[in-house]
């Protein structure tokens, strides 16, 4: 029925909770910046970080990108520039990873994620990841949870400076992989990004409602199948039904 399955990551395969508002995070980040020679107070650093994110997103919007994304490494490099310091990519990556570890409460596979991926692999589907995420976070967490190996290709929004539901992000995958929307099934937990993006291209989708989904979801979201239980084993049964 389909040649390819396109999966979202966070809230679909990985259960995650982060908190970037905690004072502890910004105190530790300010201390780390000082160790690197950039003297920030925690409040100053938090405000500068937020301003840099907003400015970089606005630059993309000014260029006509409806749903832009940025690379957080650029943010960290700019935070050094504010203090008249140059920084390497490796230093920015070190800061980003530290930021993620401190802000991360947990990241873990949902029950059924491995079983779903193993089935798709066994059935010879092409499996792709299309995620609104940061490459400097996501690749580590894909490796940590052991699921990188299942994907033919991985598309992370920070690497392309564009995010779901922008159809151009989907089109990047389709064009690179020589696929049409009719060849693909999108599976995701966010009706405003995963499902809306698929809808814009006329691509079929399965919506799964998990603890990371928006609390209020309309009755009609355009998904061909809907799994409100949050159970990936139920998603697997939907896919198995294609063969009947």
3-state secondary structure labels for all residues of 161-191: CECCCCHHHHHHHHHHHCCCHHHEEEEECCH
Q: How confident is the model at residue 1 (pLDDT cuts 50, 70, 90)?
A: confident
pLDDT over 90 percentage in the chain: 98
Question: pLDDT digits over 136-193, tens only?
Answer: 999 999 999 999 999 999 999 999 999 999 999 999 999 999 999 999 999 999 999 9
Residue 4 pLDDT more than 90?
A: yes
Mean pLDDT for the chain overall: 97
What local confidence, expressed as pLDDT, does residue 244 receive?
A: 62
Residue 80 pLDDT more than 80?
A: yes
* CA 53-55-57 angle, 5° bins: 70
Cα gap 235→127, rounded to integer Å: 15
Cα gap 130→117, rounded to integer Å: 15
What local confidence, expressed as pLDDT, does residue 73 receive?
A: 98
What local confidence, expressed as pLDDT, does residue 110 receive?
A: 98
Instruction: Give burial (CB, 10 Å; 0-12/13-18/19+) of 241.
Output: exposed
Q: What is the DSSP string of 36-61?
A: TT----HHHHHHHHHHHHHHHHHHHH
Question: pLDDT digits over 11-69, tens only?
Answer: 999 999 999 999 999 999 999 999 999 999 999 999 999 999 999 999 999 999 999 99
Cα gap 97→95, rounded to integer Å: 6
Average pLDDT over residues 70-96: 97
Whether residue 165 has a cis bond before it, omega within 30° of 0:
yes
Measured from the Cβ of residue 112, the count of other Cβ atoms closer than 10 Å reads: 17
Q: How confident is the model at residue 242 (pLDDT cuts 50, 70, 90)?
A: confident
Residue 243 pLDDT more than 80?
A: no
């Amino acid at each position: 029925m389909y040649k390819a399955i396109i999966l979202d990551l966070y809230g679909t395969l990985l259960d995650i909770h982060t908190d970037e508002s905690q004072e502890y995070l910004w105190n530790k980040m300010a201390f780390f910046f000082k160790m690197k020679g950039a003297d920030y107070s925690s409040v100053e650093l938090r405000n500068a970080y937020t301003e840099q994110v907003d400015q970089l997103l606005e630059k993309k919007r000014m260029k006509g990108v409806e749903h832009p994304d940025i690379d957080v490494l650029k943010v960290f490099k700019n935070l050094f520039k504010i203090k008249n310091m140059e920084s390497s990519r490796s230093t920015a990556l070190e800061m980003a990873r530290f930021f993620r570890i401190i802000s991360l409460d947990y990241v873990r596979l949902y029950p059924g994620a491995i079983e779903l991926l193993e089935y798709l692999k066994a059935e010879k589907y092409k499996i792709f990841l299309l995620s609104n995420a940061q490459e400097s976070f996501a690749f580590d967490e894909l490796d940590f949870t052991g699921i990188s190996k299942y994907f033919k290709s991985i598309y992370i929004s920070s690497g392309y400076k564009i995010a779901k539901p922008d159809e151009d992000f989907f089109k990047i995958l389709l064009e690179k992989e020589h696929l049409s929307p009719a060849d693909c099934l999108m599976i995701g937990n966010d009706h405003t990004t995963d499902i809306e993006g698929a809808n814009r291209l006329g691509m079929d989708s399965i919506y799964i409602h998990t603890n990371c989904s928006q609390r209020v979801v309309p009755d009609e979201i355009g998904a061909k199948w809907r799994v409100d239980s949050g159970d990936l084993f139920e998603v697997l049964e939907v896919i198995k039904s294609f063969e009947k």
